Amino acid sequence: MTRYLHTMIRVSDPDATIAFFDMLGLKQVRRMDNEQGRFTLIFLAAPGQEGVAEVELTHNWDPEPYAGGRNFGHLAFRVDDIYATCQRLLDAGVTINRPPRDGHMAFVKTPDGISIELLQDGSLDPAEPWASMPNTGTW
């Protein structure tokens, strides 16, 4: 089973972006500040869509120009078995850009280069060949 989770966009002014989405009826459902990584994640959803279909705003604290689509981050999907999903993609010739070394998260790209985050439903123990597989390219 695959379930759509959220779409992430990078923003330079979180307050202005929250106000924009508020006009569309989306409300902030959770916020996480990461001091070490110097970023904030803000999740928005329409009423009743919390945890179902959300917009993730990523605000990097250090100014960064967003050109060439850099402001769009990724689509995220929860999967029943991240290892089986990644193996199926790998067998079909898809590059696993960020392998699921932790048994929880992986990144791949569509043929057009759109980043897709795969998240394990629950948790799996780290397993080979994934645990020692290096990153490839960007995600």
* Catalytic residue, candidates 50, 54, 56, 117: 117
Provide the token pair at 117: 């985050």
Cis peptide before 129 (omega within 30 of 0): yes
Which residue, among 113, 8, 10, 13, has the nearest Cα to 67 in the 3D structure? Answer: 10
The Cα 106–Cα 97 span in angstroms is 8
Active site residue 117: yes
Instruction: Report whether 54 contacts 44 (CB < 8 A).
Output: yes
Catalytic annotation, residues: 117
